[in-house]
Structure 1
Amino acid sequence: MPLDYPIHRRTLPNGLRVVVSPDHTVPNVTVNLWVGVGSRHEAPGRTGFAHLFEHLMFQGSRGVRSGEHFEALMAEGGRLNATTWFDRTNYFETVPTGAVELALWLEADRHGHLLDAVTQENLDNQRDVVKEEKRQRYDNQPYGTALIDVYAAVFPEGHPYHHPTIGSMEDLDAASLEDVHGFFRAHYGPDNTVLTLCGDIAPDDGFALVERYFGDLPASAQERRPDHPQLEPLATPVRVDRREVVPNDRLHIAFRLPVDETDEFLAAAVALDCVGGLATSRLVRRLVRREQTALGAHATAWGFVDGASLGFVVLDVAPGTDADEVEAAFVEELSTFLEQGPTHVELEASLAQSERSWLSSLASQEERADLISHHLLLHGDPEVVNTHLDRLRGITADEVVRAARRWLRPESRAVVAYLTADDEDAGADAGTGAEAVA
């Protein structure tokens, strides 16, 4: 039975794109905003700004004191948060139906009038908060900086995905109040934002409330630059070795992929499932179950829009096993897959896993709102929530093998290896950097 979630869409005169998706099963509404600014929009020497604003947006605005956004909505029984990623920043809250107007007023005030509250004191305070977050989530976690190394190895210097969303602490320290205000003015306008209301609200009522609170905000965002051209696969392998105090050796084997929502990206994602992304995938069967040279094998594909996406396999090497042997086994299994392509069972398993994940996300009102905003902002098509599975079901074995042979060749891999070390040896190879290997 085809999916048929209601999608009612309208664009305000100031450019704000709005979707209302009614669902009256429970008396609450998710208010979900995606702003078209992420770390890929940052200039060299000005990294970390997109993530910094995720924090600053809770520090007050023209009519709201610092922390009041959380306090006011939680007092009504709401839950809320925000996240930042390469391609966007999103803000979301789920509230009882009677608190929708409060949520929209709070969002409109900070999206339209945040800079009234972005003082030097607030900026300094939130810089310190971001630094502490980096220490906790990246610097002091086993393998915490592995993905930062992956991004730098896979994407060339100057590419929008080369640097991580957390950014450079040196860049944040060097940022002036004027720099930060300028970043907000460039990106935070209704003409660079989508807003989804999902839940116990009628379309006409939802559009009227959004018009009431957001309609007076002027279109103000800078014109968006064109997306970068598609990056080709790496021409030669790249390797980065890190000696760290970690529980076990871990290999991150990454590839450039086509941009998100293309047929070729979806086919490459299925290929990664077959190789390492399923409980029955080839790497799991061989390395984890049969040879027991790996503690775990995982694979995933992350879809981006600015000239490339990212696919990678993570292999946790079993104690007493040489990491080079595990990598060689990976190359052997990948090469066999490129020669033979997926089996019918592998295709069915990949589809079943994707269906389960997609339907589970849509069953959550909050995640459904997020998917609607995602596909409206980045692809101009909120109906993807209803059509995605149909596209997946149409992927053929020939398409999967063609995509894999172009994008997942062993010579196009970047390997970031975190290898166990004693305390005195930790970081000894940290300067190895990204370099081609034979």
Structure 2
Amino acid sequence: MALDFPFEDHTLTNGLRVIVQPDATTPTVTVNMWVGVGSRHEEAGATGFAHLFEHLMFQGSENVANGEHFQALMGVGGRLNATTWFDRTTYFETIPSGALELALWLEADRHANLLAAVTQDNLDNQRDVVKEEKRQRYDNQPYGQAMTRIYATVFPEGHPYHHPTIGSMADLDAATVADVHDFFRRHYAPGNTVLTIVGDVTAERGLELAERYFGHIEHRAEPRRGPVDPLRPLPEPAREEIVDDVPNDRIHLAFRLPAEGGDTRDQFLASSMALDCLGGLSFSPLEQRLVREEQRANAIDVGAMGFVDGVSLGLVIVDVADGVDTQELEEQVCAQLSAFADAGPTPEQMEAVRAQAERAWLSALADKDERADLISHYTCLHDDPGYINTFLDRLERITAEQVRAAADAWLRPQHRAAVVYRAAEQQEEAA
């Protein structure tokens, strides 16, 4: 399917990459900024800094008071937030088109002049906020530590994806104001940032405003390192079992996958399609047999996380039904993985997975917020803002044999890392 979203791609003299994608269907504009720093850029003893900065960026800057960024944009009807991940940190807002200059001025002030507001009081305050977030999202949620355990099991000690984005609370406690200032100077700079503007603005005006508000910023980020050496599939199964106060047993099977970009982009896409064929359709073998027919699993969830530092991550998550032997169920899942790697997908599975992916992609592009985020994603991490127009063509070219080969190479049971939660109450009853 041919897509043709027009956009202007320009790099300012200070290195800031600016993408403007005009869309006057509604009188709103989305401003989306991706900074090329995430938890994979952190060093031992200094984890959690990328996520900490997501919080600090809303605590004021040289010309903006604490909390004023939210107040100013919400006061004109805008919505805004930020997220941190392994490969990047993202700041975004959608505002009425008349407030575009206000949004750009606010972004420029904190990206240029944040450190004036990073005081000991602000650092202490946001450390406490991050700790509370960890308690709520990780420590006090059923299965809340599952992904942390998966990263640590799938990726070796010292690998950029071994530790979670939330980081170590001990590392954050040890951080000084000088440490935090140094992290900002090393990573937050125009040459390490993509600014995407989507909405009710012409390309010419968008570029002119980007130059006006960001062109004066001159500091430079430290040189970016290249990706680490690619990881091959796990040579043998790895396993961790946890007895915890959870509603029921749950099986997490994780697999290394090819990196999302570069020469392995199609291999990653084929691996992702293999997982969707296995468990992402109503008639997928895992869903059809284990959930619908035998009712041994309450739910099956599959997915691929695309990373850029030499490896990605594939997941098969099985919510175990009451009274079912968890070990036997895992063996059944493994049998289905082996059968799929041997035979590959059916034509019906390939057609359905393509249709499902196409529908999701078009739905995302129909929303200005998501379209801006996709443009920033593929520009910042893959130097390819036009990917929004070419993804569906690439999807169509993936063959059933490529999907089978990806499953054979990456999704065999012997390559799995299993993180299995067992409900403490059921274990006590069994004992």
Q: TM-score range by the shorter chain?
A: over 0.9
Q: Which amino acid aligns with 1:8?
A: E
The aligned counterpart of 1:24 is 24
What SS is found at the alignment partner of 2:381? helix
Q: Quote how far apart the aligned CAs of 1:423 are.
A: 11
Distance in 1 of aligned mates of 2:201 and 2:183: 34
C-alpha spacing 1:62/1:424, structure 2 compared with 1 (3 Å): farther
Q: Quote how far apart the aligned CAs of 1:214 are.
A: 0.2
Which of 271, 275, 280 in structure 1 is aligned with 2:274?
271
Distance in 1 of aligned mates of 2:320 and 2:83: 32
The aligned counterpart of 1:434 is none
The answer on whether the counterparts of 1:15 and 1:219 sit within 8 Å (CA) in structure 2 is no
Q: Quote how far apart the aligned CAs of 1:274 are.
A: 1.0
The aligned counterpart of 1:431 is none
Q: Does 1:70 align with 2:73?
A: no
Q: Quote how far apart the aligned CAs of 1:366 are.
A: 0.4
Q: Quote how far apart the aligned CAs of 1:219 are.
A: 3.7
Q: For 1:221-236, what aligned pairs fall within 5 Å after superposition?
A: 221-236=221-236
The aligned counterpart of 2:173 is 173
Distance in 2 of aligned mates of 1:65 and 1:317: 50
Q: Does 1:250 align with 2:250?
A: yes
The aligned counterpart of 1:348 is 351
Q: Does 1:105 align with 2:105?
A: yes
The answer on whether the counterparts of 2:123 and 2:177 sit within 8 Å (CA) in structure 1 is yes
CA distances 1:92-135 after superposition (whole Å, capped 9, x unpaired): 00011110000000000000100000000000000000000000
Q: Quote how far apart the aligned CAs of 1:298 are.
A: 1.1
CA distances 1:173-198 after superposition (whole Å, capped 9, x unpaired): 01111111100000000010000000
Distance in 2 of aligned mates of 1:404 and 1:219: 45
Q: Does 1:300 align with 2:300?
A: no
The answer on whether the counterparts of 1:51 and 1:84 sit within 8 Å (CA) in structure 2 is yes
Q: Does 1:55 align with 2:58?
A: no
Q: Quote how far apart the aligned CAs of 1:353 are.
A: 1.0
Which of 310, 320, 325 in structure 2 is aligned with 1:322?
325
CA distances 1:269-300 after superposition (whole Å, capped 9, x unpaired): 11111111222211000100111110001100
Q: TM-score, normalised by structure 1?
A: 0.96
Distance in 2 of aligned mates of 1:163 and 1:157: 9
CA distances 1:378-407 after superposition (whole Å, capped 9, x unpaired): 000010001001100111011111111111
Q: Which amino acid aligns with 1:203?
A: A
What SS is found at the alignment partner of 2:186? helix
Where has structure 1 moved over 6 Å in runs of 4 or more?
Answer: none
The answer on whether the counterparts of 1:7 and 1:21 sit within 8 Å (CA) in structure 2 is yes
The aligned counterpart of 2:241 is 241
The aligned counterpart of 2:384 is 381
CA distances 1:330-362 after superposition (whole Å, capped 9, x unpaired): 011111111111100010111111111111110
The aligned counterpart of 1:152 is 152
Distance in 1 of aligned mates of 2:271 and 2:77: 42
Distance in 1 of aligned mates of 2:311 and 2:137: 26
What SS is found at the alignment partner of 1:126? helix
What SS is found at the alignment partner of 1:82? strand
CA distances 1:363-387 after superposition (whole Å, capped 9, x unpaired): 1000000000000000000100010
Distance in 2 of aligned mates of 1:334 and 1:159: 27
What SS is found at the alignment partner of 2:300? strand
Distance in 2 of aligned mates of 1:186 and 1:296: 44
The aligned counterpart of 1:285 is 288
CA distances 1:254-274 after superposition (whole Å, capped 9, x unpaired): 000000041100001111111
The percentage of counterpart residues that share the same residue type is: 63
Distance in 2 of aligned mates of 1:422 and 1:179: 45
Q: Which amino acid aligns with 1:73?
A: L
What SS is found at the alignment partner of 1:339? helix
Distance in 2 of aligned mates of 1:376 and 1:113: 25
Q: Which amino acid aligns with 2:271?
A: A
The answer on whether the counterparts of 2:190 and 2:219 sit within 8 Å (CA) in structure 1 is yes
Query: Number of residue pairs matched?
Result: 425
Q: Does 1:122 align with 2:122?
A: yes
Distance in 2 of aligned mates of 1:98 and 1:415: 52
Q: Which amino acid aligns with 1:402?
A: A
Distance in 2 of aligned mates of 1:49 and 1:273: 34
The aligned counterpart of 1:210 is 210
Structure 2 spans left out of the alignment, 5+ residues: none
Greater displacement, 341-350 / 270-279? 270-279
Distance in 2 of aligned mates of 1:269 and 1:226: 24
Distance in 1 of aligned mates of 2:354 and 2:328: 31
The answer on whether the counterparts of 2:358 and 2:392 sit within 8 Å (CA) in structure 1 is yes
Over the aligned positions, Cα root-mean-square deviation in angstroms equals 1.0
Q: TM-score, normalised by structure 2?
A: 0.97
Q: Which amino acid aligns with 2:18?
A: V
